[in-house]
Structure 1
């Protein structure tokens, strides 16, 4: 195992459909999940891998690669594609853009929540690179347009109303 680079985070990525297992982090982090990892490896060895198996979140952290733009872009028939909504947004501030991206991610998620990285990934796919996505989300949180649900966020009613006032069909 290679030593961690300064400032990097630990992560576990498992893709059951391709049989991939990628573990990155300190030896302490990896050893903390040794039993779970061994169980999963045994499962990969003994059980057939379904052709269309969904990629499951692992260890409480969703896999960003499993968030497909097509699913996020149109989570329901009432929403326009994310790219169109982004371009019709009356404001071009990072705070408003991260709110919109978070709304779209949350609409596609099973529990109606989103993480900063998920919303930021959606913006990057549209060519928008926020200088500090975390700070933009903190600004939205301070404005009470989102609220915390564990380590994730949920768009508040006031956030949806704000998006509507900015020209988005939310």
Structure 2
């Protein structure tokens, strides 16, 4: 059966570069690449693998958190390029990954420090929070991020 002329003619596919997505992807690739280059030499030391995983998770999680801040700030040219609805969708999609990556950083960095010092993981976590500079405020900020993440989750918002 022959197709009609209208059915067989499809308009050409037009590629449109989304500069917001392109910029975010290039930034993410730069963060991951530079992190790997600086972390790989330390993998052979005691706790090195766990510390490398923790540091990579910290860098990528922090980058995603910064992207969330940019999205929520509603920068005019980004909103014009992508649209508000798309920015909200990106925010909802990225947020859980950023929280998981920051939690991964806390877990694996603590494990790495515990392996290098020969202490237990919980004891090492306590030492990190109570004796290292700025770790107590970082721990409080981490807890607040997790609480806000759960509070803003769709299931938690449904009544």
TM-score, normalised on structure 2?
0.24
Q: Which has the larger radius of gyration?
A: 2
- Could you say which structure has the higher strand fraction? 1
TM-score, normalised on structure 1?
0.23
Which has the higher relative contact order, 1 or 2, with Cα contacts under 8 A spaced 6 or more apart? 2
